[in-house]
Amino acid sequence: MGILGRCVLVALAVLAGACGSGEGGDQSSTTTADHDHDHEVMEGIALDGLDHPPTVEVAAESDGAGNVVVAVTLTGIELVPADPPGDHQPGQGHLHISVDGETVAMTSHAVHYLTGLADGHHEVAVRLSANDHRDYLFGGSPIGDSTMVMVTGGTVPKAPDLVFAVEVSDGTVVGGVQRFEAMVGDLIEISVTSDVDDEVHLHAYDMTVHLHAGSTTTLLVEGTIPGVFEAELHGAGYRVFELQVS
């Protein structure tokens, strides 16, 4: 979640950069990431020298039952399986497909099915990636395309009824262990921010989510079981919060 989140941030930063410098075609840089995330720097492969760089066009269509068919039209690239990652071969690559900024698939097929989407508008984006998962760049930005799709007949999106937040810092829970109170049937969102890597386990609901140092992880709990439940840090062993469902 955290790494994914940061990838998305990076991707957004890239997109923002691309929008901001529309005609910045003379940029010769091969890096795409902002320098706040040095360890996340993603080297791209610039294809600016090619006369006919690969092109990607994406179309997405909802089937009315919560699923979306993603069809990608490509030129100038041969799709090869992404797993296991291979060495970069010019002219070869695969597709990274993301929905609403979260990568959901890496595929070597030009047609991909997305299932189980919630009703509403979603952004489907496709980027062209080399065998070693580096992005192909042209003019300093990744080669790709995106489109919006309206999904119907899928799951009904719900906004959480209650939102709670807790922070783990310096080996302790900031402000002490709190009890979050909710009613049966509530959709409860609890975000946990941590300065260390660990796991949060919520008893009885049996939810385990990973925490990444310096980022926030969100638990989405449907309050189906009444009672008071402890959430513990697996690694550290102590309680981070209690959830009371009544």
User: Applying CB under 8 A, which residues contact other proteins?
Assistant: 170-173, 176-177, 179, 201, 203-209, 224-230, 232, 235-239, 242, 244, 246
To other proteins, the closest distance from the beta carbon of 216 in angstroms equals 16
Shorter beta-carbon distance to other proteins: residue 18 or 196: 196
- Residue 113 in tokens: 């099915």
Element (H, E) at 8: helix 2-20
Instruction: Pick the closer one to other proteins by CB: 24 or 227.
Output: 227
In terms of phi and psi (left: phi > 0; alpha: psi -120 to 50; beta: otherwise), the region of 16 is: alpha
Reduced to 3 states (helix: H, G, I; strand: E, B; else coil), residue 12 is helix
Nearest approach, Cβ of residue 121 and other proteins (Å): 25
Q: Which is nearer to other proteins, 149 or 231 (CB)?
A: 231
| Nearest-approach distance from CB 46 to other proteins, in angstroms | 35
Using CB atoms within 10 A of its CB, is residue 76 exposed (0-12), middle (13-18) or buried (19+)? middle
Residue 128 or 190 with smaller CB distance to other proteins:
190
Which residue from 164, 223, 212, 210 is spatially nearest to 190, judged by alpha carbons?
Answer: 164
> From the CB of 97, what's the least distance to other proteins, in Å?
19
Contacts of residue 154, defined as CB under 8 A and 6 or more positions apart, other chains included, come to: 65, 66, 67, 116, 117, 118, 119
Contacts with 125 (C-beta within 8 Å, 6 or more apart), sequence order? 58, 97, 98, 99, 101, 144, 145, 146, 147
Q: Are 162 and 188 in contact (CB under 8 A)?
A: yes
- 75 or 246, CB closer to other proteins? 246
Q: How far is the CB of 151 from other proteins (least distance, A)?
A: 22
Tokens coding 20 = 């901001």
Nearest approach in angstroms of CB 117 to other proteins is: 17
Which lies closer to other proteins via its Cβ, residue 16 or residue 184? 184
